Amino acid sequence: MSPYSTLAALQDQPCSKQKSITFFEHDKSTNELLPACVEIPTDGTDEWEIDMKQLRIEKKVACGSYGELFRGTYCSQEVAIKILKPERVNAEMLREFSQEVYIMRKVRHKNVVQFIGACTRSPNLCIVTEFMTRGSLYDFLHKHKGVFKIQSLLKVALDVAKGMNYLHQNNIIHRDLKTANLLMDEHEVVKVADFGVARVQTESGVMTAETGTYRWMAPEVIEHKPYDHRADVFSYAIVLWELLTGEVPYSYLTPLQAAVGVVQKGLRPKIPKQTHPKLTELLEKCWQQDPAQRPDFAEIIEMLNILVHEVGEDERQKDKHGGYFSGLRKGHR
């Protein structure tokens, strides 16, 4: 059993004062009763509340309509600090901020950006996470004109799929999966980030709000139809195509035109002809118009693992004279 599953098991068994006898064990060395559930002292604050005295804000990394992203340190650890602009704070922003903190403090996975803490006391509303030194995949592809070899592409695809599979297993729908929200650390590990519009899936399992970014958005979300975790799978397919081609999805259309085309005409990005057949198959499965026809991320991981093996075998045999991969963008990260 993993440490996380052990922790989850413990968390499912809260202390009970009424049944204290059932929650105690004997210390064989002293024959004393020991509590199986340990009460942790508290000073009245949540452990994730940031002590602003320990937070050092340094270089501004990015700026948006509602907030700014800074690089800094917290208790000597390098961190990213997302600060809400006080003058732009409204009720909707506060709901999203609250939801993001609520979700991030629950998730722990090597392919999900690590939450450090948050300041929830106005006017210093901020979220602090680990700092991802290599930035977003969007910047890598489109600002720095980075390219992926097939092995690197599949590694990134697996990183994202594993992070998303973990979120879905915990009933979290990201709702805005795109390369701008996928970050790379110094070890080239890719992690899912930005949970501002993420939601915990309800018992009914469906949502209807249009949320996300048009070029990556699933057709059922665009149409305000009921949707579930499979909407993230559609967005993942667009991300995968973007990694493959290095192009912005539907770059020849406005975002709204792209959305209309996806819904009304079944528009999808054009897959390069010499793409590995199994990668083409994966893309086409993940962006099916009917959400029920899309695989879940556990299936996607299986497909990618098979593809990694086949690519390795093919490249060993065909490295000198091209083969399936001659049509891919060539280069290194």
- Active site amino acids: 176
Beta-carbon contacts of 35 under 8 Å, excluding residues fewer than 6 positions away, are 15, 20, 23, 24
Q: DSSP labels for 199-253?
A: EE--TT--B----S-GGG--HHHHTT--B-THHHHHHHHHHHHHHHH-S-TTTTS
Which residue, among 280, 272, 269, has the nearest Cα to 307 in the 3D structure?
280
Beta-carbon contacts of 95 under 8 Å, excluding residues fewer than 6 positions away, are none
Degrees, nearest 5: CA angle 227-210-127: 100
Long-range pairs, 40-46, Cβ under 8 A, ≥24: none
Alpha carbons within 13 angstroms on the beta-carbon side of residue 67 total 21
Cα separation, 275 vs 244, in Å, equals: 9
Return the C-alpha torsion angle 231, 236, 238, 240, nearest 10. -170
DSSP-derived letter for residue 305 is H
Cα separation, 284 vs 307, in Å, equals: 15
DSSP-derived letter for residue 36 is S
Q: Report the run of H or E that residue 260 belongs to, with start and end.
A: helix 255-264
Which residue, among 175, 184, 113, 177, has the nearest Cα to 146 in the 3D structure?
184
Contact 234, 287 (CB under 8 A): yes
Which residue, among 175, 190, 177, has the nearest Cα to 137 in the 3D structure?
190
Contact 68, 83 (CB under 8 A): yes
